Amino acid sequence: MKCPHCGQEHPDSFQFCPVTGQRIAPQFKACTNEQCSDFGKYILPLESKFCPSCGQPLEEQATESKERLEFTINGVSFTMILVEHGNFMMGATQEQEDPNYDEEPIHKVMLTKDYYIGETPVTQSLWKVIMNRNPSEFGEGGEGDYVEEWENLPVENVSWNDCLLFIDRLNMCLHQQLNNMKFRLPTEAEWEFAARGGKESCGYQYSGSNYVHKVAWYENNTGYEGTHPVAKLIPNELGIYDMSGNVWEWCQDWFDEYQEGCQINPNGPNSGWGHVVRGGCWRDCAGNCRVSCRWNTEDLYCGMAIGLRLVLFKMINNNQGQTDNSKKSRKKQQCTNEPVSINSTAALTIGEHYVIGKDCIACGTCIDECPEGAIQEGYRYYIDPKKCSACGTCADVCPSEAISFEC
């Protein structure tokens, strides 16, 4: 088989070029009918129009793994990279040296929908243009060797809850450009699949290489001096940078031990203590930068080693959206408007709105009660219809009840 990348001949059994690391074996389609015995199996030629097992039409599936979407907000640009849906073994696979106990058992994961993931971690410039402030310890007004390049340093010192607020505002800023898509944090499975290189994976221990110094800023090449500008080392198979090292990255999932058996589109347990962070950071050992290494921390924790990476996903179709909206309207009629004070783990965004009620059906993330109009800012929320602290978080329309904030 002749490799289209290096021009050399390789044995037909080779899946990837040993010179360039690029895929040379033919790619295949998979049936997306969940009732089919061949569901999720990439065994059908790309030219196939129907599944031979169930007869269902095959959806058109992208074959270019490096499709990009670019966005610009007030002069700050960022790029999202396509990750095609596929299957992988999650956890301490054989190339992962000295894995931790929570990386087992190894289990099969099937991701049935394409998604986009950030080419780099969220930078300080993007965070500042959305949030009007820069909380980072390194860079602008802070420490480190790259103060003058702060715009391209990854944002850090942000909590999981801070990230939700950032993403909520980002969605509002770009809602006219998103075309039925929305930003969120990656699930842990989405993060690991992308870090491994998706369907283009070469089975590396780190994201893009078996040599950590080529892809990661970590203890041996940072001198413990802090974060480095993004996209300065080599990318992984999908063209994604810094998924190993530089900053840990928040995931959507609550942390829990892995379960055995195949999982389809997993998004973690319904509750727990702390959320998952992935990837390792500038002050970590090489082992923490492996693609299967996982950690967790409390939602309110802000540290100079934790940032985030965005995922962009396609939302439900219009008909389903109308049904969900009608359900949401019926639920809101049952809610009360009694003032409450709560901690910041309780109120979470539901699209661009908040709903009160213990049985909130829109996203399943509510705990106890969600105040209508609550805005996440730091550690606490207070509803006070007579007072507004002018925190700067109101968008086009102010909440029905003004918020006063105390840290």
What average pLDDT does this structure show over 286-302?
95
pLDDT of residue 13: 52
Tokens 């810094």 belong to 242
Return the closest-CA partner of residue 70 out of 128, 120, 113, 129.
Answer: 120
Q: Each residue of 86-99: b (16+ CB within 10 Å) or e?
A: bbbebbbbeebeeb
The residues, any chain, with a CB within 8 Å of residue 249's CB and separated by 6 or more, are: 121, 186, 191, 243, 277, 278, 279, 306, 307, 308, 309
Q: How many CB atoms lie within 10 A of CB 63?
A: 11
How sure is the predictor about 23, in pLDDT bands with cuts at 50, 70 and 90? low
Strands (E), 84-232: 86-90, 107-111, 115-118, 181-184
Task: Give pLDDT tens digits for 185-240.
Answer: 999 999 999 999 999 999 999 999 999 999 999 999 999 999 999 999 999 999 99
Residue 250 has pLDDT above 70, yes or no: yes
Question: 3-class SS at 402?
Answer: coil
Backbone angles phi, psi at 22, to 5 degrees: -85, 155
Report pLDDT digits (tens) over 255-290: 999 999 999 999 999 888 899 999 999 999 999 999
Work out the average pLDDT over 321-346.
34
Residues 332, 341: Cα–Cα separation, whole Å: 19
Question: pLDDT tens-digit profile of 372-406?
Answer: 444 433 323 333 333 344 444 443 334 433 343 33
How many Å apart are CA 58 and CA 46, to the nearest integer?
10
Q: What is the mean pLDDT of the chain?
A: 76
Question: Do 375 and 401 contact (CB within 8 A), yes or no?
Answer: no
